[in-house]
Amino acid sequence: MHNFHDAQELTEALRPDIPVLLNRPHAARRAARYFVDQFPGKSLYAVKANPSPELLKLLFEEGVTHYDVASIEEVRLVREILPEATICFMHPIKSESVVEEAYHQHDVRIFSLDSMEELEKIERATKGAEDLILCVRIKVASEFAQISLASKFGMDVDDSAQLLMRTRQIADQLGICFHVGSQAMTPLAYVYALEKVRTAIVEASVTVDIVNVGGGFPSIYPDMSPPSLNHYFSAIDRTFEDLPISYSAELWCEPGRALSAEYNSLVVKVEQRRGNELYINDGAYGTLFDAAHIGWRFPVKLRERDREPSALLDYSFYGPTCDDMDYMAGPFMLPDNVQAGDYIEIGMLGAYGSAMRTRFNGYGSITDHDVSDEPMASLYVGENLDRTDRENVVSFPAG
C-alpha cells in the first residue's frame, strides 16, 4: 500500500473512482498515549467504535491493554488479534451460550449486567465460577450528551440494592458502571453520574472494587468544541476519590470515539451537482451513516489545488444508492464553485464510520491508505491540549 502525505497528494496521484479511507496511525497512537498517561485509572477501548485490526494493534502497542466488547464476534476478533489483551464483555444482556463461550474458550472474566436474570445466566454459563469480575450497570441521565444512551440499559439506582448485594456474593470483584451518552460536552455529566454511584453504594452497603465511568468522551466537530479532556479527568478523579469505596478500588473508563475519531477521514468524489446538493459516492449506507441518520456534521475540505478561493456555501449530500434516505442534510461548508469530478475530504470519521458501512445496493467498495498529515481537528495538539491542573474547572455546555 502506497502512503501519501495527505488527501491532496492522494487525489492528484490516483483520481480514485471509489471512496478512499485515510488512516492516521500517528493520531490514534497519540490519543492512546494521552489516555494511558493522563486518565487516573484504566482505559478500556470500546471496540464497537472502530474494530479495525490495525487500530486494535496500535492501541495495544501504546499501552491500551483492555478492550470493551459487546458481542461474541468482537470477543473472537480481539482474542485472535491480541491474545494477551484483557477482554471486558460490557454488554449487559447476552445469551447464555455466548457467556459460556466467552468464559470457557476465550478467557473472559469481566462481564456487565443490569438484572437478576442476567446474573443468574452468568452463574449458569460459567458453572458457578469464583473468579468473575462483575459490573452492575446503573441508569444515569444523558442530558449533557449529543446522543442519549439512557433508555436501553441500566438498572434504576433506587432498585439496585438487591442486585448489588447478590452480585457481591458471587463476584470475586464487584464493579459499578454507567454510560453518560455519546459526545458528552461537559465534565458535569460524569460528576452527576458518579453521585448516582454514591447513592447506589450507600443504599446497598457493599464494598465496590471498580467504578467504570464508561465512554462518552468527546471529539471536536463543527459547532462542537468540548473542554480539554484533562478537565474531564480531573472532575472524575476528584469525585471518584470522594466515594465511599476502599483505598484499593480501581477507576475505569471506556473511550471509543475519543481514541478512534481522529484515526480516519474519507475522500469522496462528486458525481453531480444540483444547486447546493452534491451527489457523492459514499453515504448513509456506507461510511456516512451518522451524517444521515443522526444528522452528524463532519468537517469537510475541497481537495482541488487548482480551484480559485471562493465564498463558502451550505451544501447537503446525496449518497450513491437509489434510496431517498441516502441523504445527509449537513450543512457542509464548501466553496461555492464545487463541481462534478471534484474530491472532498470528510474528517473525523474514525469513530463509527467504518463500523457502520454496508454493501447495500451493491455499493460499499472502498480502498484505504495511510497518510501523515494531521486530522482536521484534534483534542491532543495545540490549543486544545491543556494538561494544566485546574482544581475547580467544571464546564457547562454552550447554551
- Judge if 110 and 50 occupy the same domain: yes
- Judge if 11 and 134 occupy the same domain: no
Mean pLDDT of all residues belonging to the chain = 93
**pLDDT tens column, 168-207:** 999 999 999 999 988 898 999 999 999 999 999 999 999 9
**Residue 333, CA atoms < 13 Å, CB-side half-sphere:** 7
Which set of grid coordinates corresponds to residue 25? 496511525
Evaluated on CA atoms 349, 354, 356, 357, the torsion sign reads positive
Ramachandran assignment for 249, one of left (phi > 0), alpha (psi -120 to 50 degrees), beta (any other): beta
pLDDT at 391 over 60: no
Cβ-based neighbours of 217, under 8 Å, separated by 6 or more: 184, 229, 232, 253, 255, 257, 258
Q: Is residue 98 part of a domain?
A: yes
**pLDDT tens column, 311-347:** 999 999 999 999 999 999 999 999 999 999 999 999 9
| Domain endpoint, select from 213, 229, 260 | 260
Position 181 scores a pLDDT of 86
Q: Are 39 and 237 a contacting pair, CB within 8 Å?
A: no
Q: Is residue 376 part of a domain?
A: no
What distance in Å separates the CA atoms of residue 165 and residue 218, rounded to the nearest whole number? 34
The DSSP output letter for 308 is P
- Judge if 322 and 219 occupy the same domain: no
Count how many domains the chain has.
2
Which set of grid coordinates corresponds to residue 91? 454488554
pLDDT category of residue 398 using cuts at 50, 70 and 90:
very low
- Judge if 175 and 319 occupy the same domain: no
Q: Is residue 291 part of a domain?
A: yes
Cβ-based neighbours of 39, under 8 Å, separated by 6 or more: 233, 253
The pTM score is 0.92
- Judge if 107 and 240 occupy the same domain: yes
**Looking at residue 76, which CATH number applies to its domain?**
3.20.20.10
Query: In terms of residue numbers, what domain contains 16?
Result: 7-22+261-370
Q: Are 209 and 134 a contacting pair, CB within 8 Å?
A: no
102 vs 397, which has greater pLDDT?
102
| Domain endpoint, select from 211, 227, 260 | 260
| Domain endpoint, select from 242, 260, 278 | 260
Burial 222-254 (b: 16+ CB within 10 A, else e): bebebbbbbbbbbbbebbbeebebeeebbbbbb
